[in-house]
Amino acid sequence: MAGIHQECRLVFDNKPGTSNKDLQDALRRRKPLSESSAALVTANNEFAFKLYAALGGTDSMFFSPTSLLTAWAMVREGALGETATEIDEILLPLANDVRRESFKELCERTSGQAQRPYELRMANALWARSKASEEFMKTICNTYRGEFGAIDVARINAWGSKHTNGKIPEMVPPTSITALTRFILTNAVYFKGTWVFQFPAENTREQDFRTDDGRTTSVQMMHLKSYFNYGESDGVQVLELPYVGKDLAMELFLPRCDVNSKPGLDAQRLSKLHENADIIPREVDVILPRFKLNTSYELIDVLRKMGLVTAFSPAADFSGINNGLEPLFVDKVLHSAFVETNEKGTKAAAATSIIGATLGASHKPIQFIADHPFVFAIVERASGNILFLGRLSNPIKA
């Protein structure tokens, strides 16, 4: 089956400005969205921190809550009964009309068609072995701007690679497809942004980074002194580094002590800091490591721990996908993500595959020295929506 929407990739060379107006614009914070989009932002960010807590551990992590929730929203369109209720309660506490309106707005503003000085684009697709319900396909097309195709591992991975700019070349391993596989719903998101205030490359030098086990490792540290949105609460420094266009920024949460010790950064504290940190423009001397992360997750066990159970069991009801021709359940939830941050800016990408099967304050600059583990997020500044969330435990061991 042919694709419905063609991707439009627009890239602009926009050098960061340093005028007073640029500075003021860069330091502006959130503006209100529609009520439905605001509700989705709340649901997305709550899910982000719940998943952050559920993944646990001390290793570096990186994922896209927006990618995962968009894929689950498409799955939800075909869910009925207790399956639908559980997805709503655990992942998407939104009324049907609010869910569809908010994801339609999200997919429109990340379609890649807007002329912006950064790249942010998202794509969705339904891959099936047999014809899906006309109503389901219509919703995937009209609400999620989805494409359609037959299940073929090579085609799916080529689609994922295309929509992540080659950063995730394999979103569906060949072994994940079986004779019982009936549908795959995929989402891919890609971001490329340039810092408003770039780190001078000549200032980058090797410095020690302290890991959770108390050891140090030598990494390339970037240095920049400028004015940024900055705040501090209960021993945690909060810094916002804006990207050109000022719509997106990286938020960094740096404990005065190690990220996993008290007062550390559990999901509850991160959520409060993201929503309520009292940040103002301050002169900050930033020292940040260059880093690159590649992550992959199989999330069914994690989602079960979060309370989502029925969708993965024989009791699942996804008859809205195939008009009830045969029973369906979610067999795998695969998620891969990539991030690279350097002196110029950030590239980030994520891909989700949900596979369904049948049975069978002083003038002296503040120091922000990220030489130990920290948490970071890439967010839409207007809404606060978390596109990507991660933790860097060791820039070398990624």
Identity (one letter) of the amino acid at 204? Answer: T
Q: What is the pLDDT of residue 111?
A: 83
Angstrom CA distances, 73 to 143, 144, 332, stand at 10, 9, 16
Residue 301's contacts (CB-CB under 8 Å, 6 or more residues apart) are none
Q: Output the six-digit token pair for 291.
A: 């880093």
Q: Which residue has the higher pLDDT, 214 or 24?
A: 214
> What residues are paired with 63 via a beta bridge?
389
Angstrom CA distances, 38 to 6, 51, 212, 274, 391, stand at 28, 20, 36, 15, 25
Q: Is residue 6 part of a domain?
A: no
Q: Is pLDDT of 385 > 70?
A: yes
Q: Is pLDDT of 234 > 50?
A: yes
163 three-class SS: helix
27 three-class SS: coil
Q: What is the pLDDT of residue 211?
A: 86
Radius of gyration of the chain (CA): 21
Q: Is pLDDT of 387 > 70?
A: yes
Q: Is residue 212 located within the same domain as residue 259? A: yes
Q: Is residue 341 located within the same domain as residue 205? A: no
Q: What is the pLDDT of residue 29?
A: 54
Q: Is residue 96 located within the same domain as residue 185? A: yes
Range from 10-24, 136-150, 159-173, 179-193 carrying the lowest mean pLDDT: 10-24
Q: Is residue 124 located within the same domain as residue 250? A: no
Identity (one letter) of the amino acid at 99? Answer: R
Q: Which residue has the higher pLDDT, 168 or 25?
A: 168
Inter-residue contact 318 to 185 (CB < 8 Å): no
Report percent pLDDT > 90 for the chain: 68
Q: What is the pLDDT of residue 22?
A: 52
Distance of CA 122 to the CA centre of its chain: 11
d(CA 102, CA 385): 12
Q: What is the pLDDT of residue 241?
A: 95
Find the CATH number of the domain harbouring 309.
3.30.497.10
Residue 42's contacts (CB-CB under 8 Å, 6 or more residues apart) are none
Q: Is pLDDT of 6 > 60?
A: no
Give burial (CB, 10 Å; 0-12/13-18/19+) of 4. Answer: middle
pLDDT tens for residues 258-275?
A: 545 444 566 677 777 777
Q: Is residue 136 located within the same domain as residue 230? A: no
272 three-class SS: helix
Residue 107: CA count within 13 A, CB half-sphere: 27
d(CA 66, CA 189): 9
Q: Which among 330, 312, 328 is positioned nearest to 320, based on CA atoms? A: 328
Q: Is residue 170 located within the same domain as residue 269? A: no
Q: Is residue 12 part of a domain?
A: no
Q: Is residue 297 located within the same domain as residue 281? A: no
Q: Is residue 207 located within the same domain as residue 336? A: no
Our count of domains for the chain comes to 2
Q: Which among 136, 46, 49, 43 is positioned nearest to 98, based on CA atoms? A: 43
pLDDT tens for residues 88-116?
A: 999 999 999 999 999 999 999 898 777 89
Inter-residue contact 161 to 90 (CB < 8 Å): no
Q: Is pLDDT of 298 > 50?
A: yes
d(CA 44, CA 36): 12
Inter-residue contact 194 to 345 (CB < 8 Å): yes
Q: Is residue 153 located within the same domain as residue 302? A: yes
Binned at pLDDT 50, 70 and 90, residue 15 comes out as very low
Residue 323's contacts (CB-CB under 8 Å, 6 or more residues apart) are 133
Q: Is residue 398 part of a domain?
A: no
Q: Is residue 13 part of a domain?
A: no
Q: Is residue 239 located within the same domain as residue 126? A: no
Q: Is residue 282 located within the same domain as residue 346? A: no
Q: What is the pLDDT of residue 267?
A: 65
Q: Is pLDDT of 344 > 50?
A: yes
What is the overall mean pLDDT for the chain?
Answer: 87
pLDDT tens for residues 199-223?
A: 999 999 999 999 887 889 999 999 9
Find the CATH number of the domain harbouring 257.
2.30.39.10
How far separated are the first and last CA of the chain, in Å rounded? Answer: 39
Angstrom CA distances, 8 to 3, 73, 115, 188, 318, stand at 14, 23, 10, 14, 32
Q: Is residue 269 part of a domain?
A: yes
Which domain does 257 fall in, by range?
A: 201-289+362-392
Inter-residue contact 160 to 351 (CB < 8 Å): yes
Binned at pLDDT 50, 70 and 90, residue 119 comes out as very high
d(CA 375, CA 271): 12
255 cis-preceded (ω within 30 degrees of 0): no
Binned at pLDDT 50, 70 and 90, residue 362 comes out as very low
Q: Is residue 3 part of a domain?
A: no
d(CA 231, CA 228): 10
Highest mean pLDDT among 9-23, 234-248, 259-273, 311-325: 311-325
Q: Is residue 124 part of a domain?
A: yes
pLDDT tens for residues 28-78?
A: 455 557 899 989 999 999 999 999 999 988 889 999 999 999 999 999 999
d(CA 92, CA 384): 18
> What residues are paired with 119 via a beta bridge?
192
Binned at pLDDT 50, 70 and 90, residue 232 comes out as confident
Average pLDDT over residues 344-373: 87
Q: Is residue 14 part of a domain?
A: no
Q: What is the pLDDT of residue 32?
A: 57
